[in-house]
Amino acid sequence: MSILPTLDNLRAHYQLAAQSLRNKGEVTIEQGFNLGVAFYQEVKIGRDATNASDDDDMLLFQYGSWNWYDVRGEYFGLDITRQVIFEEEGEQVIYQLSFGVEFDSAPFFGCRHHTSWSETNPSLADWVTSQKATEGFKLA
């Protein structure tokens, strides 16, 4: 496990890991998901690494069809997001890093929205397995 001193270091480290994956060719949903999980397991933030509670650093997996009435129109979005919560000058700060993809929504018609936080399962491995078994992950 590496411990990075700041959130800026965390973002830079994640961007390098994602770019390295992209440099190898087209990135699959499973590769992106696995990158998010590995990054969560292997890289912690210095001041939070030793005293963070389970819900101060967690993963979110979500997908669904959206239409924000912008140039994209309706699309199916899927992402894995790492959320880190920490105290700064007495205030709670929430920081998120995501790996997400968007698809044409037609092939996902009827697929229900899904949201799951990693801390809802006692084991990260069980959570990963359950997320990979969801309808949206399989369709993507």
pLDDT single digits (tens) 15-63: 888 888 888 888 899 999 999 999 888 887 755 444 555 568 899 999 9
Write the pLDDT tens digit of every residue in 80-118: 999 988 777 788 888 888 889 999 999 999 999 999 999
Cβ(109)–Cβ(18) under 8 Å?
no
Helix (H, G, I), strand (E, B) or coil at 34: helix
Tokens 């399989």 identify what position? 138
Confidence of residue 72 (pLDDT cuts 50, 70, 90): confident
Query: Among residues 56, 113, 102, which one has the least CA distance to residue 82?
Result: 56
Which position has the higher pLDDT, 10 or 38?
38
With the CA atoms of 38, 40, 46 and 48 taken in that order, what torsion angle do they form, in degrees rounded to the nearest 10? -160
Look up the pTM and report it: 0.82
Would you put residue 81 in left (φ > 0), alpha (ψ -120 to 50) or beta? beta
